[in-house]
């Protein structure tokens, strides 16, 4: 087995409603998402992706379709954050994503992992698996979710 990693970046707004410091204010981040897949390179003769665990272009396409296009330039708001949800609802056509959990980087990384695991696992046969998602909220702060070892 070996791993490949694809990095994607997106911008999103959020706030941590009960935070005691600056993070209770509306603000945004350029999030950096690192997706690590584990598998064996494809050996099918003549296949365009022969020698690849998965074509990086396809890694990107699946990440965009299943996660990044939904969150990019959106405001990620906790379902229980009523004042902000009410405010956002007054803005016509605003891109708002309502989450069941507070949008800490830990919770966002877990949501990202669960969605991406469903998208990637077994995509190219039995061996391909999402191994790890790492999400940077700032260059200095990140969370990581790993697939449990079977
Ligand atoms: N465990 C967590 N702690 C914090 C989170 C979080 O999601 N999980 N989020 C925040 C803020 O939203 C913010 O993203 C972090 O701000 P800050 O601590 O200021 O991070 P910086 O990298 O900008 O800090 P420097 O001191 O400039 O390195 C807060 N905590
Ligand atoms: Zn923040």
Query: 85-89, 117-121, 129-133: which has the minimum mean pLDDT?
Result: 117-121
At residue 126 the predicted structure's pLDDT band, cuts being 50, 70 and 90, is low
pLDDT at 96 over 70: yes
Question: Residue 31 belongs to what H/E stretch?
Answer: strand 27-39
Q: List domains and CATH numbers for the chain.
A: 2-44+53-146 (3.30.479.10)
In angstroms, rounded to a whole number, what is the distance separating the alpha carbons of residues 90 and 83? 11
Going 32 to 110 to 141 to 94, the CA torsion angle's sign is positive
Task: Supply the pLDDT for residue 127.
Answer: 79
Q: Is 101 annotated as a binding residue?
A: no
At residue 122 the predicted structure's pLDDT band, cuts being 50, 70 and 90, is low
Q: Is 14 annotated as a binding residue?
A: yes
Report which protein residue has its CA nearest ligand 1's atom 7.
Answer: 104
Q: Is 141 in the pocket of ligand 1 (CB under 6 A)?
A: yes
pLDDT tens-digit map of 63-91: 999 999 999 999 999 999 999 999 999 99
Task: Supply the pLDDT for residue 149.
Answer: 83
Asked if 40 and 127 touch (Cβ cutoff 8 Å), the reply is yes
Task: Supply the pLDDT for residue 121.
Answer: 84
At residue 1 the predicted structure's pLDDT band, cuts being 50, 70 and 90, is confident
Largest distance between two CA atoms of the chain: 58
First-to-last alpha carbon distance for the chain, in angstroms, is 14
Ligand nearest 140 Cα, by number?
1
Q: Is 42 in the pocket of ligand 1 (CB under 6 A)?
A: no
pLDDT at 12 over 90: yes
Q: Is 107 in the pocket of ligand 1 (CB under 6 A)?
A: no
CA of 58 to the centre of ligand 1 (A): 31
Q: Is 28 in the pocket of ligand 1 (CB under 6 A)?
A: no
Its pTM stands at 0.95
Report which protein residue has its CA nearest ligand 1's atom 5.
Answer: 104
Q: Is 29 annotated as a binding residue?
A: yes
């Amino acid at each position: 087995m070996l791993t490949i990693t694809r990095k994607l970046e997106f911008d999103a707004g959020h706030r941590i409603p009960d935070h005691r410091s600056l993070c209770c204010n509306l603000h945004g981040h350029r999030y950096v998402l690192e997706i690590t897949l584990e598998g064996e390179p494809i050996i099918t003769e003549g296949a365009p992706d022969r020698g690849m665990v998965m074509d990086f272009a396809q890694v990107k396409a699946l990440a965009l379709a299943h996660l990044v296009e939904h969150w990019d330039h959106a405001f990620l708001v906790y379902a229980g954050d009523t004042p902000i949800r009410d405010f956002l609802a007054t803005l016509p056509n605003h891109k708002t994503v309502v989450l069941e959990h507070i949008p800490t980087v830990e919770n966002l990384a877990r949501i990202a992992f669960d969605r991406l695991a469903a998208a990637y696992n077994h995509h190219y046969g039995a061996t391909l698996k999402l191994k790890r998602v790492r999400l940077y909220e700032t260059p200095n702060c990140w969370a990581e979710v790993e697939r449990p070892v079977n």
